[in-house]
Structure 1
Amino acid sequence: MVNKKTAPVDASSGAAAPAEPAGPRARDAERSQQALLAAAAAEFAEHGLGGARMDRIAERAGLNKRLIYYYYGNKDDLFLAVLEDAYRRIREAEQQLHLTDLDPPEAVRRLTAFTWDYYLKHPEFLTLLNSENLHRATHLQRSERVREMNSPLVQTLAEVLARGQRDGVFRGGVDPVQLYISIAGLAYFYQSNRHTLSAIFGRNLMAPKACSERLSHITDVVLGYLLRD
Structure 2
Amino acid sequence: MNDKPANNRAGWKQDPAGVRKNILAVAMAEFAANGLSGARIDEIAAKTSTSKRMIYYYFGDKEGLYGQVLEEAYRQVRTGEQELELDHLPPVEALKLLAEFTFEHHSRNPDFIRIVMIENIHDGAYLEQSELIRLLNAGAIQKLEAICRRGRDAGLFRDDVAPLELHWHISALSFFNVSNRATFSRIFGNALFSPEGQRTLKEHLVEMVVGLALKPDRRSRR
Residue in 1 that maps onto 2:127: 140
**Shift of residue 89 of structure 1?**
1.1
Q: What is the RMSD computed on CA atoms of the aligned residues?
A: 1.5
Q: Which amino acid aligns with 2:120?
A: N
Change (3 A) 1:227 1:98: same
8 Å Cα contact 1:116/1:215 also seen in 2: yes
**Shift of residue 62 of structure 1?**
2.6
Q: Which has the higher contact order (CA 8 A, sep 6+)?
A: 2
Residue in 1 that maps onto 2:202: 215
Alignment partner for residue 161 of structure 1, among 128, 148, 151?
A: 148
CA distances 1:122-172 after superposition (whole Å, capped 9, x unpaired):
111001111111111110110001111122221121111011011111101
CA distance in 2: counterparts of 1:77 and 1:137, whole angstroms: 15
**Shift of residue 56 of structure 1?**
0.6
Alignment partner for residue 128 of structure 1, among 115, 121, 137?
A: 115
- 2:72 paired with 1:80: no
Q: Which has the higher helix share?
A: 2
Residue in 1 that maps onto 2:97: 110
8 Å Cα contact 1:115/1:184 also seen in 2: yes
CA distance in 2: counterparts of 1:34 and 1:25, whole angstroms: 11
Aligned identity (percent) is 39
Residue in 1 that maps onto 2:6: none
**Shift of residue 68 of structure 1?**
1.2
- 2:32 paired with 1:45: yes
Change (3 A) 1:66 1:26: closer
Structure 1 stretches lacking a partner, 5+ long: 1-23
Residue in 2 that maps onto 1:13: none
- 2:168 paired with 1:185: no
SS at match of 1:61: coil
Q: Which amino acid aligns with 2:207?
A: D
Residue in 2 that maps onto 1:99: 86
Q: Which amino acid aligns with 2:144?
A: L
Scaled by the length of structure 2, the TM-score of the pair is: 0.88
Change (3 A) 1:62 1:27: closer
8 Å Cα contact 2:191/2:197 also seen in 1: yes
Q: Which amino acid aligns with 1:83?
A: L
Residue in 2 that maps onto 1:70: 57
Please list every run of at least 4 consecutive aligned residues from structure 1 whose deviation after the TM superposition is greater than 3 angstroms: 24-27
CA distances 1:43-99 after superposition (whole Å, capped 9, x unpaired):
111111111000010011131101111111111111010010111111111101111
Scaled by the length of structure 1, the TM-score of the pair is: 0.86
Structure 2 stretches lacking a partner, 5+ long: 1-10, 218-222
8 Å Cα contact 1:194/1:205 also seen in 2: no
